[in-house]
Structure 1
């Protein structure tokens, strides 16, 4: 024995056992596959080792009874607008996100695709009454008033600078109807009210005119149902350009008062419960209408069901788990707390979690007032919420509960909200996309228009659009004037005050907040468009996206200021596109929404001042 220990000291060994398996010593496998166990004490020892003999309140639940109070969201307030009733037949994200479709940019009519769509729909209805109405409405409501784009006119440079855009406008001008112009005419508040038959000089009978006027109301309803967007009755002020976020509030009646939920930083594109906070400082959203009776109390008895999922640890030691779920492939980062919690639940707990089913209507707030569980020993257990306590207690653990706005030490709210939001939203290609980034070399912030809307209604690369427009304007200047050989252009170098940057780079300059000496905001500025041999005062390069044109469409034009903390070191990406979803009643909603994401970091525009550069126009060589 001493010799064996001495040998192990010089040659240490490690013994491992991976699995227990039968080793057959004959060709008969019948006894081996039975996996017989001859040592019952060993099995009892393993059960003791795994803690299976330790039990405390181990009775399984057989009956549960819950008492719940419910209410429903009935009011909505977007931004600084007045509160209004919350329609249950509209998804909440549509109500919050919808923006107006831009049909004009400066002096240029855009969104040609929707104008043609509306025109085709009207002509389809009108020609069913009389085929002669087709040309009559094209003559009155033609694209661009039936005037072809002039490639030699600076006013049409936005269209003619892009070959495909010019081709599309040339193909439909004088041949197709602008349905949006008819829509605007019918919606104008005039006395007497505008009618669809106004200005149509065909030999109309009164019967045909009445039918056309009836189609006008149908046309308005058709378009407003096709695209959900603001109008004179339904306004949306939830989008805050200074913060690049949506701000809104909803409320529900509760015991004679109102429970107000506010969202001050919604920009994710997917609206859910975690975007809202409980605002105890606001008792009511004033709408001028009496509160609705939507509160209810429900007592429900049911049998709890064990929680099961693929790959869960099995309660018995010798039972294999489902191989289809491999939790080892989940690779969370150290900051992915949700994944870490989920993995800990998957790998630690098995048969000691139960589901308490409770069906709630869409758009409701619910709070469990009492929950009792009866186990197999006929013991009744009163279950309290895990997240109860002070709302500011950082050690309090809960899930799916709303945060109470502010830092006051108030009791935590234990209710749950089921928002009336859609499960899936389809997004189209970006109509507009901008990147707000910091340029440390130039010491300023830029709004880079990555995708800009063309007059046809489609988005295109902003850099190409800027180059093409500048090249077209340079072409309209005319021939290059030769320099004066006696006085100018004799030096090898010349002084340049400032260079140019691509036209899709819009500068933002720091300015002081009114009444503040230290805090600043970012104010939209403009670069001059410098064209060679142009003796006119350079014009400012205006943004081509509605995201950066805030205030330019108003008369007089307004300044656009952006909070500085909205542009971090990683930058900010904002995109605007068409979105589509189907509600639970089968209704389809299309709208234009805005979404904000993290950017791509810092950038450099190449802007430089006070440069000495080679003189390309030099006529003589002194060397």
Structure 2
């Protein structure tokens, strides 16, 4: 049994809340938080030392002096690249990213019809010319040619493999069969024009088999020149190899852009040594200090502009920023207080602390800057409500006037040896795109490390389907093998039918008796790897006998099909076909720097992109970007195998 003890004489305790009570029907007077004794408030502020604080008057006026300088020269990092004027009609991303891409069969067909229309337009009214008179002759010379597997090519496996690779793309092969001897292949015209601008001279009627009248030859050449220029402009193709910024050894873009003024000797050379993200912005550039002479196409003009603005600064705002006014509900879309961050999440902690403590301390002064310009804020003077003027200096400016600290939107200054010298005072606003529409990948290459085979593999996950889009590299590789095996099977059947004739065999073969014996085991020198796996083997850099640095060189797996001369398997994607001609013959080796393929691997994606520039013009180009891979992999390649002879 338990008992509860209590004191019956304990006094009764009551609590009352002190709060303002209004005697009016409206609550506006109570909620206004009026101060009825300002002298008491001032006295309390004096006691707590608040009068010793710094000036916190609100800014009511700001005067800013800004100098802008337009970039006017551009150069790719190609060994043969030359300085040229910046094309203001194109955003810099298009100028940098544009790559050569073979025309699809469908596009080649329609462009061929456009060429005929251009010829008719230029030759209409010329003596001896009738509309469409040269159509059949051009089709006969430059028609679509579907591949054919011939038994005569058994000794040349490269030719058989090349034709089989086209036939493995079923849709493209059917198009070629449909258009055979019926339409002109514009890709063949472009190739012939690039190899020899005067290729039409061979088709003049003054030569045997010629079909072009001598009086029409010049007009047709001009029509092809105009037609070719329209194609280059429509697809934004680089005319020459040195017009491409793509560096195959690094699998990245690299280029330089400069603004030069002879009058003030103020030169800025910005270099993007490693650009692969797919979006060009200020952080892609570094400023290079160099004393090398620059060969320019003309004398640069002074494109510097100075602006002085006077306006009322506005409060800068970000999502989730705390409001500074009373009784104002904050936006609940961003809840910084509910952000989970561990002790090692320094980025989260820093951003959260900045957003909650300092984000509403900033003022913004709007100023429109022309895209593709360098902007330098020469000075800012802010006037507050008390009439005091404050000169605002750059945040990363240190004692002595040096700019060694890091600054947002600024470029690092490097010398020719890539040593850090400080930060540039100017801010670069590249003429980059805000939004693009990207097609499905036309090419997709996965570069992975294979530690078991001590090599790097370039896996062609997606390869061009010759129609302007992409197809599976693994499926195409399997189809190529099936096409070659089926072709050889048919050839063997033909040989068996011929061998039924006793006269086909010699007397020694007729008397030859072969004892057939099947061993239980068989020796395999190396097993097969899918043809869309292209190896890159590690070798020592030339001239690096002491440091023994490693570089990856493209190699090839052998295609060993019974009945065909063994030959090398060549890649089908343009990214990996560097130095290989259309006949699958390697003209130059292809190397990739070791540091470009980390353990996580990388993925190269080639795709078409569509956007509209400020003029409203639609722009289409073919570009590449590189993303991080998904780790190591294994091809299953093995050597010296002893297996069951099934």
TM-score, length basis structure 2? 0.79
2:225 aligned with 1:224, yes or no? no
2:331 corresponds to which of 304, 310, 322: 322
User: Mind listing any 5+ residue stretches in structure 1 that lack a counterpart?
Assistant: 6-19, 104-110, 617-623
2:589 aligned with 1:559, yes or no? yes
Shift of 1:152: 5.0
1:112-151 alignment to 2 at 5 Å?
Answer: 112-125=105-118, 130-131=131-132, 133-144=134-145, 148-151=146-149
CA contact (8 A) 2:535 2:557 kept: yes
Question: Helix, strand or coil for the counterpart of 2:457?
Answer: strand
2:100 counterpart residue number? 100
CA contact (8 A) 2:65 2:307 kept: yes
2:430 aligned with 1:422, yes or no? no
2:14 counterpart residue number? none
2:423 aligned with 1:412, yes or no? yes
Kindly tell me: are residues 33 and 556 of structure 1, through their superposed partners in 2, closer, same or farther at Cα, counting changes over 3 Å?
closer
1:56 corresponds to which of 54, 57, 62: 54
Shift of 1:179: 2.1
2:518 aligned with 1:490, yes or no? yes
2:185 counterpart residue number? 178
1:128-527 alignment to 2 at 5 Å?
Answer: 130-131=131-132, 133-144=134-145, 148-152=146-150, 154=160, 156-186=163-193, 189=196, 215-232=223-240, 235-253=242-260, 255-282=264-291, 285-309=294-318, 311-327=320-336, 341-349=350-358, 351-389=360-398, 396=405, 398-405=407-414, 410-478=421-489, 479=492, 489-517=517-545, 518-527=548-557
Separation of aligned partners in 1, 2:420 and 2:136: 71
TM-score, length basis structure 1? 0.81
User: Mind listing any 5+ residue stretches in structure 2 that lack a counterpart?
Assistant: 8-17, 125-130, 152-159, 497-511
CA contact (8 A) 2:254 2:272 kept: yes
CA contact (8 A) 1:195 1:216 kept: no
1:11 counterpart residue number? none
Question: Helix, strand or coil for the counterpart of 2:390?
Answer: strand
Shift of 1:589: 2.5
Once the two structures are superposed, residues 380-428 of structure 1 have per-residue CA deviations (whole angstroms, 9 ceiling, x without a partner) of 111111011399x999453111112257574432210111222222222
Kindly tell me: are residues 194 and 422 of structure 1, through their superposed partners in 2, closer, same or farther at Cα, counting changes over 3 Å?
farther
Once the two structures are superposed, residues 423-476 of structure 1 have per-residue CA deviations (whole angstroms, 9 ceiling, x without a partner) of 222222211111110112222111111111123343111001111001111222
More helix by share: 2
Separation of aligned partners in 1, 2:326 and 2:316: 19
Shift of 1:119: 1.2
- For structure 1, which segment, 293-302 or 571-580, has the greater mean C-alpha deviation from structure 2 after superposition? 293-302
Separation of aligned partners in 2, 1:516 and 1:568: 21
1:78-97 alignment to 2 at 5 Å?
Answer: 78-79=76-77, 80=79, 81-97=81-97
Kindly tell me: are residues 511 and 4 of structure 1, through their superposed partners in 2, closer, same or farther at Cα, counting changes over 3 Å?
farther
Separation of aligned partners in 1, 2:114 and 2:325: 67
- For structure 1, which segment, 75-84 or 267-276, has the greater mean C-alpha deviation from structure 2 after superposition? 75-84
2:609 aligned with 1:601, yes or no? no
Kindly tell me: are residues 334 and 293 of structure 1, through their superposed partners in 2, closer, same or farther at Cα, counting changes over 3 Å?
farther
Kindly tell me: are residues 411 and 203 of structure 1, through their superposed partners in 2, closer, same or farther at Cα, counting changes over 3 Å?
closer
Kindly tell me: are residues 474 and 71 of structure 1, through their superposed partners in 2, closer, same or farther at Cα, counting changes over 3 Å?
same
Separation of aligned partners in 2, 1:435 and 1:239: 18
- For structure 1, which segment, 286-295 or 74-83, has the greater mean C-alpha deviation from structure 2 after superposition? 286-295
Once the two structures are superposed, residues 463-509 of structure 1 have per-residue CA deviations (whole angstroms, 9 ceiling, x without a partner) of 01111001111222234999x99666432111211101000001111
1:73 counterpart residue number? 71
Shift of 1:166: 2.2
Separation of aligned partners in 2, 1:289 and 1:312: 50
Question: Helix, strand or coil for the counterpart of 2:425?
Answer: coil
2:604 aligned with 1:574, yes or no? yes
Separation of aligned partners in 1, 2:518 and 2:410: 76
Separation of aligned partners in 2, 1:122 and 1:527: 42
Question: Helix, strand or coil for the counterpart of 1:574?
Answer: strand
Separation of aligned partners in 2, 1:299 and 1:246: 38
Shift of 1:76: 1.2
Question: Helix, strand or coil for the counterpart of 2:165?
Answer: helix
Separation of aligned partners in 1, 2:514 and 2:341: 73
Q: In the comparison of the two structures, how many residue pairs are matched?
A: 579
1:10 counterpart residue number? none
Question: Helix, strand or coil for the counterpart of 1:94?
Answer: helix
2:640 aligned with 1:610, yes or no? yes
